[in-house]
Amino acid sequence: MTTGGTREVNFDGIIGPTHNYAGLSPGNVASASNAGGTSNPKAAALQGLSKMKFLMDLGLTQGVLPPQQRPDTDALRRMGFTGDDEKILREARDADPTLLAAVWSASSMWAANAATVSPSPDTADGRVHMTPANLVSNLHRSFEAQTTTRALRMIFANEQHFKVHDPLPAQMRFADEGAANHIRFAPSHAEPGVELFVYGVTAHDPSMTTRKYPTRQSRAACKAIARLHQLDPARTVFARQHPDAIDAGVFHNDVIATGNANVFLYHEQAFAMSRSLITDLAGPIGGDLVCVEAQNTDFSIDDAVGSYLFNSQVVTLPGPENSMCLLAPIEANENKPVAAFIERMVADPTNPVNRAEFLDVRESMRNGGGPACLRFRVALSDAELGAAHQGVILTDALYARLVDWVEARYPEQLSADDLVDPSLARRCLDALDELTRILDLPGLYPFQQ
């Protein structure tokens, strides 16, 4: 939607050619339950591109983010493995198969974890601020920060409009998982908003622990990002995830809550103190916050995690009505209590979400990421959008080129046994080299330096 010359642009992560089911993410129920299975990288990437095309055809501005260089054999060399790629890959498998899986991971596809962004109406210097996530909670994701920072600085290079910060210190006190734990509310994308940061742990409070799964986002990281982005403290809210939700598989806040403009969609067990949170959010935006709360009587947290309803995208559609559409995974429509809740929400005239669409991103879902995981959203004015790198903005022509690239370059299937194949590693690098030419991002990857 464009509002006063400002629109939300969704930059989706292109699912990389090494998409596989390694189950590397503790607390991610879907990822763990499919660990060891045979993945379908080509189908996954085509599903992701189809989802991007769907949003573009709705009239929304859509961008893409490139995948990471994988396998990351340099990471294995930093761990003491030596020799050519074939020797390194085989020795890593023999020493610890999880290390091998980590350097092949295509997890950067979930671009919601790429960074946290504050649009220019919210920042003191009037620029769009971005802080790439350090992702230190999981080894396989911690390898992403350097290339993500380089990619964002290439796409948002104009320092008159953009400030891309360094990631926070790579230490658990500042554990940062990006926009998956951040929601911005505002009457429109062009107006100053309220930014909600959600955390699971405070470094100085040992009582804030979970029983089953680890927490990933720290309060210190949220506070640091708010300072870096020059946010108004009166319009910045910090909230704690409910520890029971984390133990149920809510590893990121976007598995249990989402928002768009003035709409807040969440489960009643999402936060440790929901009522005071609503007051804190509603005040700065003039009390116009529209809360859509799913209660336990509607469906359980297990239903939320299984269906990924809250990992849907809520987008404002073009047109004067400012109506909104819920872009949900098809799994949400297959869960009867969740589907019934969606039907009631769409029919309710007290909120602007009056349409629901169900998207097939099953390959991503099997690895624990729904439609909202795949996108990094950035509110941009016309001038800011014009100053961004245009090679990553989706058009019909770019979509066709990317589909052809996937069809030509991606493996049909991938299993754990394939991860020791040096010829597959070379083919993946050749594919990424071609992608940088398609997107006009020369020198993005370490192997191109």
* Percent of the residues in the chain that have a pLDDT greater than 70, as a whole number: 92
Give the list of residues 6+ apart from residue 125 with CB closer than 8 angstroms, or none.
Answer: 163, 230
- What stretches of 156-273 show up as alpha helix (H) in DSSP? 219-228, 243-247
What is the per-residue burial (b if ≥16 Cβ within 10 Å, else e) of 143-170?
A: bbbebbbbbbebbbeeeebbbbbebbee
With respect to residue 215, please indicate whether it lies within any of the assigned structural domains.
Answer: yes
Which of 75-79, 144-148, 351-355, 361-365 shows the lowest per-residue confidence on average (mean pLDDT)? Answer: 361-365
d(CA 383, CA 119): 13
With respect to residue 66, please indicate whether it lies within any of the assigned structural domains.
Answer: yes
The predicted pLDDT at position 225 comes to 98
Catalytic hit among 252, 267, 363, 384: 252
- The answer to whether residue 177 is catalytic is yes
CB 399 within 8 A of CB 52: yes
d(CA 108, CA 146): 12
Residue carrying the six token digits 């007051």: 279
Both tokens assigned to 310: 């809250």
Alpha-carbon dihedral sign for residues 200, 203, 209, 210: positive
With respect to residue 381, please indicate whether it lies within any of the assigned structural domains.
Answer: yes
The predicted pLDDT at position 81 comes to 97
Instruction: For the beta carbon of residue 437, count every other beta carbon within 10 angstroms.
Output: 11
Decide: residue 36, CB within 10 A, 0-12 exposed, 13-18 middle, 19+ buried: exposed
Q: Residue 46: give the domain boundaries.
A: 7-284+361-448
d(CA 165, CA 356): 36
Per this entry, what is the length of the chain? 449
The predicted pLDDT at position 36 comes to 63
- The answer to whether residue 325 is catalytic is no
Catalytic hit among 8, 91, 177, 195: 177
Place 286 in a pLDDT band, splitting at 50, 70 and 90: confident
CB 202 within 8 A of CB 173: no
- What stretches of 37-129 show up as alpha helix (H) in DSSP? 41-57, 73-78, 85-95, 97-104
**β 128-132/162-164 pair status:** parallel
Q: Is 430 helix (H, G, I), strand (E, B) or coil?
A: helix
d(CA 158, CA 443): 18
- The answer to whether residue 191 is catalytic is no
With respect to residue 294, please indicate whether it lies within any of the assigned structural domains.
Answer: no
Residue carrying the six token digits 């790579």: 170
The predicted pLDDT at position 1 comes to 43
Instruction: For 131-140, write each residue's pLDDT tens digit.
Output: 999 999 889 9
Q: How many domains does the chain have?
A: 1
pLDDT over 90 at 214, yes or no: no
CA angle at 297 for the pair 291 and 301, rounded to the nearest 5°: 80
Decide: residue 58, CB within 10 A, 0-12 exposed, 13-18 middle, 19+ buried: middle
Catalytic hit among 222, 325, 373, 428: 373
Place 2 in a pLDDT band, splitting at 50, 70 and 90: very low
Task: Look up residue 366 and give its amino acid.
Answer: R
End-to-end CA distance of the chain: 38
Place 203 in a pLDDT band, splitting at 50, 70 and 90: low
Task: Look up residue 394 and give its amino acid.
Answer: L
With respect to residue 349, please indicate whether it lies within any of the assigned structural domains.
Answer: no
Both tokens assigned to 36: 């060891």
Q: pTM to 2 decimals?
A: 0.94
Residue carrying the six token digits 């991860």: 419
Domain of 260: which CATH number?
3.75.10.20
Element spanning 56, H or E: helix 41-57
Decide: residue 350, CB within 10 A, 0-12 exposed, 13-18 middle, 19+ buried: exposed
d(CA 294, CA 83): 55
CB 244 within 8 A of CB 295: no
With respect to residue 126, please indicate whether it lies within any of the assigned structural domains.
Answer: yes
* 300 or 251, which is more confident: 300
pLDDT over 50 at 410, yes or no: yes
With respect to residue 345, please indicate whether it lies within any of the assigned structural domains.
Answer: no
* Percent of the residues in the chain that have a pLDDT greater than 90, as a whole number: 76
* Mean pLDDT rounded to a whole number for the chain: 91
With respect to residue 402, please indicate whether it lies within any of the assigned structural domains.
Answer: yes
* 386 or 247, which is more confident: 386
